[in-house]
Amino acid sequence: MRLAVALIVCASCSLPEGDYFGQIPDVHDRPRTLRFCNQGEPDYLDPALGNTTNATPILFAMFDGLTLYAPDGSAEPSLATSWDIAPDMRTFTFHLRKEGRFSNGRAIDAYDFAYAFLRLLDPTTASPISDKLEFVKNYDGYTGNTVRKLLHDAGPLRAGAVVELVATNDKTPDTNLRRSTHALELRDLGAPIADAYAHVPAGADVELVELTGGPVSYPSPAGVEWAYVFWDDGDGHYGWVPSADLDVAPNDDATYSIRAMPMRQWPGVQATPEVLAADDAAPHPTVQVKGRDLLRLPELIGMRIPDRYTFVIETPVPIPYVVASTPSQCCRVTPREVVSRWPRRWTDASHIVTSGPMHLKLWLEKDRVELVRSPTFWNQKIVKADEVIVFNMDDQAANTNYYAAGGCDAMASNNIPTSYLPVMNGEKHSYKDFASKPYNGIYFVYLNTEKLTNRHLRRALAYAIDRRPIPRIIHKGYGTSQVTPGTRISDLSDADRATCGVTRDQPGFAMIEAPGVCYVPPPGLDFDPAKAKEELALARQELGADFPKLTYRYNSGSEGHKLIAEYLQQSWQQVLGLDVGLESQEWKTFVKDTTDGQYQMARFGNIGSIADTESDFIVLFHCKAPSNRSRYCSPEFEKVYAEAKQIFDRKARNAKLAEAEKIMLEDAPVIPLYVYTQEHLTKPYVRDLPINFVDQVPLYRAWLDPDWNK
């Protein structure tokens, strides 16, 4: 039976009486089994592809990283035992433990982290979360497929130079395209032909991804160079072959225009700020070369491997949040040998190899994910659960009712129907297993700037919304016109207000990013009916007969999303006289369509994995960010955003970031609505399942106390 039919209460019925919301089952027979009600189906169980809050709790239980999320949401050592940060905050050296193991028993080392970075940034992967590594050298060039290594001297450029292709387009010949005059046998590095798992016909196209012997690549077996290639056939295959087997390079004679990348983007090269600034200002002339002179290789990414258990991250500018970012998907390791065989199906339970505390036992789509303790995880002492069952219902009422019936022990945050909240949060009653806490998240409306191209129309839509009623409608959160969330200024401590340079009576939010470091985001286009009408008149004048019919989209299964959609629809009609249609979609379809830009206006939210606007919020509006659903791209924003990244002093850096955010808000690619709070239901017998500001729930640490009431 599917879980979605397991309903016992409804919004119109009486809710449970007593101290707790629903049944408290006896757990003596399963103290090490946690049952968790998720918000819906995970999009992927692959750290390079999972991009929703439905996926991250599962991913972070299955895969280990340089660091893990500590119970308070900060980064704590895991596969990295320690790290060194260079004084200029551009080089981060992680020292790895030797006990790390994948679930197949293979040791984890620095080459696995290099592969994790490569997967995230390689255009073939098309990772929607590649911007988690936006801080590394050549992020834009690698994800945009424009950066290359120069193999031979060319004019003023020497072999080994880091260069970029000039004036590329979709028809630019691929410098990494290869073929063979005989069949290629794809296998693991150094394996004999007899162990090949894929056979590429002679003359078939493959993509050269990596060569052994480089600064971030495995040493060449027996001194023979091998090549790692991708064959795009069916589900695709990656694999190693001796590089000599790739005896045809179809684009060797193609002509390319190149120029040197700024020195700050050259991995392995360190220089003073003065030298880097001089190089930035120096002319970089265009040179003509042939395809045989160029390759895209992993060594162009800002990472280095001095030895097998040392991994170095390099950034082009000072980045203060690198270590804080390492618990995220960017630094979770996956097994190359398994991904290579089944790039699109390697996370099937029959194939998957994991690296974290838990291992995948079963994934029944639209039903559940079952995880079991991984015996190869190096740190067994922090793993309290032997089994975690994650239910994937995408209906809030079904989840909450199942919890009330005793079907799950805890629920994902913000998974409770809006109509239940007045009872739970103390307006009418209160339950001891309910908690409402601050949250590093923002709820907003994306405006697709490729479909709603008129700036005045977008600004009119933003000015027409009064955010103040929204928290009363959904019984949670705090209305805002700011994109970056944080703590209400009125709730900050005196010390934090002094750090932020604000007063108690000042409206809005501020984000404490680190001790002594505060970001105060600029206000956006707040409710102003007169300005809304002025902007609409300008939009109608400019668009004329091309004025669009408007549609707002939201995902189904959430009562709150529907109520907000109806409120926005009413506001736009009353203030502007616009009739806006409403559409609801199932979650996975909604995610795909908004990612692909197939919408005009859509609700969305963003949950920061760390308390830092630069890493998780402003980046959403960077031209090349894969999560830039609004398709916003402003040269002015990009200029100021880039200037901020050059500033070492964090106070001055944050001031410049606020300037960039203000530019973006004035262009209205987004309408912020409210800062999240996180609402949780957790049975009283659940132990070690903490609530933290970034809502990173370590499911594997939880256990059930059968004697909780004694």
Per-residue pLDDT band at 428 (split at 50, 70, 90): low
Range of 40-44, 170-174, 517-521, 534-538 with top mean pLDDT: 534-538
* 3-class secondary-structure state, position 477: coil
- What number is the average pLDDT over the span 308-314? 98
The structural domains of the chain, ordered by start, are 29-73+334-434+681-704 (3.40.190.10), 122-301 (no CATH), 437-678 (3.10.105.10)
Name residue 83's beta-bridge partners. Answer: 94
Q: pLDDT tens across 512-537, in order?
A: 988 899 999 999 999 999 999 999 99
| Residue type, position 190, single letter | G
Number of Cβ within a 10 Å radius of residue 710: 5
Name residue 488's beta-bridge partners. Answer: 509
Per-residue pLDDT band at 10 (split at 50, 70, 90): very low
- Rounded to the nearest 10 degrees, the angle between the axes of helix 559-576 and helix 455-463 is 110
Alpha carbon separation from 58 to 2, 41, 44, 360 (Å, rounded): 20, 11, 10, 9
Alpha carbon separation from 484 to 217, 653, 676 (Å, rounded): 39, 15, 11
Round to whole Å and give the CA distance between 480 and 474. Answer: 14
Cα 320 to its chain centre, rounded Å, is 18
> Which tokens is 304 given?
């280095």
Alpha carbon separation from 30 to 469, 632, 684 (Å, rounded): 44, 50, 15
Contact 689, 701 (CB under 8 A): yes
Round to whole Å and give the CA distance between 523 and 507. Answer: 10
pTM for the structure as a whole: 0.87
Contact 444, 673 (CB under 8 A): yes
- Confidence (pLDDT) at 360: 98
Round to whole Å and give the CA distance between 447 and 181. Answer: 50
- Confidence (pLDDT) at 429: 63
Round to whole Å and give the CA distance between 638 and 645. Answer: 11
Round to whole Å and give the CA distance between 63 and 65. Answer: 7
- What number is the average pLDDT over the span 667-677? 96
Q: Is the pLDDT of residue 254 over 70?
A: yes
Sheet of 303-307, strand order: 80-85, 91-96, 310-314, 303-307
Burial of residue 596 (number of CB atoms within 10 Å: 0-12, 13-18, 19+):
exposed
- Confidence (pLDDT) at 137: 97
- Confidence (pLDDT) at 427: 61
- What number is the average pLDDT over the span 145-171? 94
Alpha carbon separation from 278 to 262, 271, 302, 314, 451 (Å, rounded): 10, 11, 21, 20, 41
| Residue type, position 204, single letter | A
Of 327, 518, 509, 437, whose CA–CA distance to 693 is shortest? Answer: 437
Sheet of 478-479, strand order: 478-479, 670-681, 434-447, 601-607, 551-555, 581-585
Burial of residue 124 (number of CB atoms within 10 Å: 0-12, 13-18, 19+):
middle
Per-residue pLDDT band at 2 (split at 50, 70, 90): very low
Q: Is the pLDDT of residue 5 over 60?
A: no
- Confidence (pLDDT) at 426: 65
Of 478, 477, 447, whose CA–CA distance to 671 is shortest? Answer: 447
Torsions phi, psi of 37, nearest 5?
A: -90, 110
Of 669, 622, 661, whose CA–CA distance to 454 is shortest? Answer: 669
Give the 3-state secondary structure of 366-419: CCEEEEEECCCCCCHHHCCCCEEEEECCCCHHHHHHHHHCCCCCEECCCCCCHH
Round to whole Å and give the CA distance between 110 and 512. Answer: 33
Q: Is the pLDDT of residue 104 over 70?
A: yes
Burial of residue 427 (number of CB atoms within 10 Å: 0-12, 13-18, 19+):
exposed
- What number is the average pLDDT over the span 343-358? 96
Burial of residue 274 (number of CB atoms within 10 Å: 0-12, 13-18, 19+):
exposed
Contact 290, 252 (CB under 8 A): yes
> Which tokens is 370 given?
């079952």
Q: Is the pLDDT of residue 6 over 80?
A: no
- What number is the average pLDDT over the span 422-447? 85
- Confidence (pLDDT) at 3: 37
Name residue 509's beta-bridge partners. Answer: 488
- Confidence (pLDDT) at 11: 42
Q: In the chain, pLDDT over 70 holds for what percent of residues?
A: 97
The H or E element spanning position 177 is strand 177-178
- What number is the average pLDDT over the span 63-79? 95
Burial of residue 27 (number of CB atoms within 10 Å: 0-12, 13-18, 19+):
buried
Round to whole Å and give the CA distance between 476 and 460. Answer: 26
690, HSE (Cβ side, Cα atoms, 13 Å): 11
Name which of 39-53, 254-268, 282-296 the model is least confident about. Answer: 39-53
- Confidence (pLDDT) at 411: 96
Residue matched to tokens 């890493």 = 615
Residue matched to tokens 């979709």 = 170
Of 40, 69, 76, whose CA–CA distance to 692 is shortest? Answer: 69
Cα 351-352-356 angle, rounded to 5 deg: 165
- What number is the average pLDDT over the span 689-710? 93
Of 202, 218, 222, whose CA–CA distance to 210 is shortest? Answer: 218
Of 264, 261, 265, 291, whose CA–CA distance to 277 is shortest? Answer: 264
> Which tokens is 459 given?
């600004």
Q: Taking the alpha carbons of 495, 500, 503, 504 in that order, is the dihedral positive or negative?
A: negative
- Confidence (pLDDT) at 366: 86
- Listed in sequence order, the residues at least 6 apart from 498 whose beta carbon sits closer than 8 Å to its beta carbon are none
Q: pLDDT tens across 192-248, in order?
A: 999 999 999 999 999 999 999 999 999 999 999 999 999 999 989 999 999 999 999
- What number is the average pLDDT over the span 581-600? 93
- Listed in sequence order, the residues at least 6 apart from 633 whose beta carbon sits closer than 8 Å to its beta carbon are 449, 623
Q: Is the pLDDT of residue 1 over 50?
A: no
Per-residue pLDDT band at 33 (split at 50, 70, 90): very high
For the chain, what percentages of helix, strand and coil (3-state, to nearest 5) are there?
30, 25, 50
- Confidence (pLDDT) at 710: 85
Contact 64, 108 (CB under 8 A): yes
- Rounded to the nearest 10 degrees, the angle between the axes of helix 396-404 and helix 559-576 is 140
- Confidence (pLDDT) at 497: 94
